């Protein structure tokens, strides 16, 4: 186990893009956690004397149509992105792991039913399904996290199913069965722990997708609602004032781009480092 971890870390460190992405993700995490400390202003403070000011010394990223500091709102908006990304992916991963494990382990008619259900879910445009559900139940942060989570588990389920189909006939599983281990013990103590690498990679990439999806929903006005700051609803203000306030579009757009790209780089780096087929003799 220690040798595998050493090889993984050596391979991951060689990927400079993944390391860079990881550092950016860590910085964003620290900013989100300590938003109250690093934010120069209260994100809800209205100052009508400084409406739509371009970037300056007092407001490095400018102000919005109510005179609120854009930098402060973006810092607090990173909390929304972090929360939506991790909670939504956690829900999706949990659902996908359970259904994928049941499908791959038991097979037969159970597998066919679950896979047909996955096919049905994949045939429905996810974004429009989310739009419909949120329009019906309302758009607060918890609803958005839950809806994104329960509509994004299909890929994880397929990954876990494939791993279970490969692992359930291995010697260590057959030995556990011969010793009288229950199905639950075999699934969670023997097979699941050996199928976590692709799930972990999928979860990291899923965080980027969830952040992008939340930003799109907020941009359309059915995501996080003002006065709660999010990168998406700052972009909406930018759209409404694009001719006179370019900073309202550029800075949150760049923040979304960098964040999503960083998570994708980390996910791809993890995928390469965790794949034993790529471990050569030089590792």
Architecture of domain 83-224+242-278: Orthogonal Bundle (1.10)
- Given a cut of 80, whether residue 113 has pLDDT beyond it is yes
pLDDT, tens only, 232-269:
888 888 888 888 889 998 999 999 999 999 999 998 88
Taking the C-alpha atoms of residue 43 and residue 68, their distance in angstroms, rounded to an integer, is 6
Give Dmax (Cα) for the chain.
77
The fraction of the chain above a pLDDT of 90, given in percent, is: 32
pTM of the model: 0.85
pLDDT tens, residue by residue, 173-212: 888 888 887 888 888 888 888 888 888 888 988 998 888 8
Name the phi and psi angles at 69, rounded to 5: -70, 120
Q: Is pLDDT above 80 for 5?
A: no
Q: Using CA atoms, how far apart are residues 218 and 136, in angstroms rounded to an integer?
A: 16
Using an 8 Å Cβ cutoff, are 263 and 84 in contact? no
Residue 281 has pLDDT above 50, yes or no: no
- Among candidate residues 149, 126, 134, 151, the one with its CA nearest the CA of residue 224: 134
In sequence order, which residues have a C-beta less than 8 Å from that of residue 238 and are 6 or more positions away? 245, 246, 247, 248, 249, 250, 252, 253
């Amino acid at each position: 186990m220690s040798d595998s971890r050493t090889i993984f870390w050596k391979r991951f460190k060689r990927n400079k893009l993944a390391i860079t992405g990881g550092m950016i993700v860590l910085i964003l995490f620290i900013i989100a956690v300590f938003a109250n400390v690093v934010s120069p202003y209260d994100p809800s403070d209205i100052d009508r004397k400084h409406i739509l000011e371009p970037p300056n010394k007092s407001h490095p990223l400018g102000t919005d149509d109510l005179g609120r500091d854009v930098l402060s709102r973006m810092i607090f908006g990173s909390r929304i992105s972090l929360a939506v990304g991790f909670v939504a992916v956690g829900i999706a991963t949990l659902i996908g792991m359970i259904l994928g494990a049941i499908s791959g382990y038991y097979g037969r008619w159970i597998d066919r039913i679950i896979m047909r259900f996955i096919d049905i879910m994949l045939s429905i445009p996810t974004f429009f399904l989310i739009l419909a559900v949120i329009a019906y139940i309302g758009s607060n942060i918890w609803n958005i996290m839950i809806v994104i989570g329960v509509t994004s588990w299909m890929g994880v389920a397929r990954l876990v199913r494939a791993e279970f189909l490969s692992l359930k006939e291995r010697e260590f599983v057959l030995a556990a069965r011969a010793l009288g281990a229950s199905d639950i013990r075999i699934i969670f103590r023997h097979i699941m722990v050996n199928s976590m690498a692709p799930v972990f990679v999928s979860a990291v990439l899923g965080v980027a997708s969830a952040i992008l999806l939340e930003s799109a929903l907020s941009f359309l006005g059915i995501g996080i609602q003002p006065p709660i700051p999010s990168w998406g609803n700052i972009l909406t203000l930018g759209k409404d004032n694009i001719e006179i306030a370019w900073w309202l579009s550029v800075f949150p757009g760049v923040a979304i781009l960098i964040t999503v790209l960083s998570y994708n780089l980390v996910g791809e780096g993890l995928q390469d480092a965790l794949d034993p087929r790529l471990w050569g003799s030089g590792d």
